[in-house]
Amino acid sequence: MAKRVLVLSGASSVGKGAIRDLLLEDKDLDLRFVVSITTRPKKENEVDGEKYYFVDYKYFAKAVKEKALYEYTEFNGYYYGTLKSEIDFWLKQDKAILVEVEAAGVGPLKLNIPEAVCFFVVPTSMEELEQLIHEKYNDDAASEHLRLNKAKMEMEIAPLFNNQITNDSPERAYQEIKEITLREWAKLED
């Protein structure tokens, strides 16, 4: 049974969400989304169990201690992680999955699931990314500064990825990711 795993990462605020949604809607890929856990508070428009399971620090620390996470990271005082049980559940059912993680989380995932096809989404330019972050967080200077610094650090990691996808258009980026993924998954079947 081939493990069909697509890992999506990229710089902060680069537009991964729009690409992720297009990938999840694609019937050819037939992806299941792996829900992450986080200690950050749930925003007003979020639903627990949709993109994140919202947990307390005690639960998260227990998951780390029990090695129940493939990867985890901290940002702005909150923790984010990918539960092994979430990935294993879908793979045992022979389902293709999409895992969305921070750039630092790709390494541990790839060590545990070497056949995972990993993508790093980059902006057309650093100036464009700075503008996107400014527009998204312009009412919160501290968040804007944190996101900008995070994005710059993530862009330093981008060259380590075999598959860098420029998000000049979410539809075009999605199509490129789909083509590469299907080609790589076909190799697993051989």
Tens of pLDDT, residues 84-98: 999 999 999 999 999
CATH number of the domain to which 50 belongs: 3.40.50.300
Domain that holds residue 171: 5-189
> Residue 92: its pLDDT value, please?
95
> Residue 35: its pLDDT value, please?
97
CA atoms within 13 A on the CB side of 180: 20
**92/173 Cα distance (integer angstroms):** 29
> Residue 16: its pLDDT value, please?
92
Tally of domains in the chain: 1
Neighbours of 13 (CB within 10 A): 22
Buried b (16+ CB within 10 A) or exposed e, 112-151: ebeebbbbbbbbeeeeebbebbeeebeeeeeebebbbebb
- Identify whether the C-beta of residue 137 lies closer than 8 Å to the C-beta of residue 12: no
Structure tokens at 54: 């919202």
Q: Where are the beta strands (DSSP E) in the chain?
A: 5-10, 31-33, 36-38, 52-54, 69-75, 78-83, 96-100, 117-122, 164-166
Q: Phi and psi at residue 110, in whole multiples of 5°?
A: -65, -35
Bridge-based pairing of strands 96-100 and 164-166 is unpaired
> Residue 26: its pLDDT value, please?
98
> Residue 1: its pLDDT value, please?
59
Which residue positions in the chain have pLDDT lower than 70?
Answer: 1, 139, 190
Would you give the DSSP letter of residue 48? B
**134/67 Cα distance (integer angstroms):** 37
> Residue 156: its pLDDT value, please?
80
H helix or E strand, kind and range, residue 75: strand 69-75
| CA quadruple 58, 62, 68, 74: dihedral sign | positive
- Identify whether the C-beta of residue 24 lies closer than 8 Å to the C-beta of residue 133: no
